Amino acid sequence: MKKTAIAITLAAATLVAGCNDADVASRNLSRAADNFEINRRIVFYNGITDRYMLEIQGLCSIGSGSSSKSITVTCKTGEGRFKKHQMGLSDNVTYISEQLESEGVSTVRYRVVFKPEAIVPDVDLRTSGNT
């Protein structure tokens, strides 16, 4: 039991020691953006026509789309109000995400967000009745 605890502690220390300041800051910035705290500009660009196709700006989180050839951009537009955009990517369409303002994040501690209210879902009940 004692050997197992020591092995787990050493493994955790090795993982933490392998992270540099930039990796920790990058993860913390990504987590802040996913919580709609980072103001971003996301521009979709066509490399063949050299034209911008779409620009989205605001408190936005970038996520994986339904396939490897798409992404989703979810933006907070007000208190409890959101918009979701999905864009297909191809060999000539790409996107650029720009963080518009600097943010202060820790380079020595990972940020963990725990939302207890997310554990109990908001359930909509649908039945086959005529209601």
Q: What are the tens digits of pLDDT across the range 36-86?
A: 999 999 999 999 999 999 999 999 999 887 777 889 999 999 999 999 999
Claim: this prediction has a pTM higher than 0.85 = no
For 24, residues 6+ apart whose C-beta sits below 8 A from its C-beta are 106, 107, 108, 109, 110
For residue 9, the model assigns a pLDDT of: 56
Q: Does position 127 have pLDDT exceeding 60, yes or no?
A: yes
Q: Does position 103 have pLDDT exceeding 90, yes or no?
A: no
For residue 5, the model assigns a pLDDT of: 55
Sequence ranges of the domains in the chain: 21-101
Instruction: Indicate the pLDDT class of residue 1, thresholds 50, 70 and 90.
Output: low
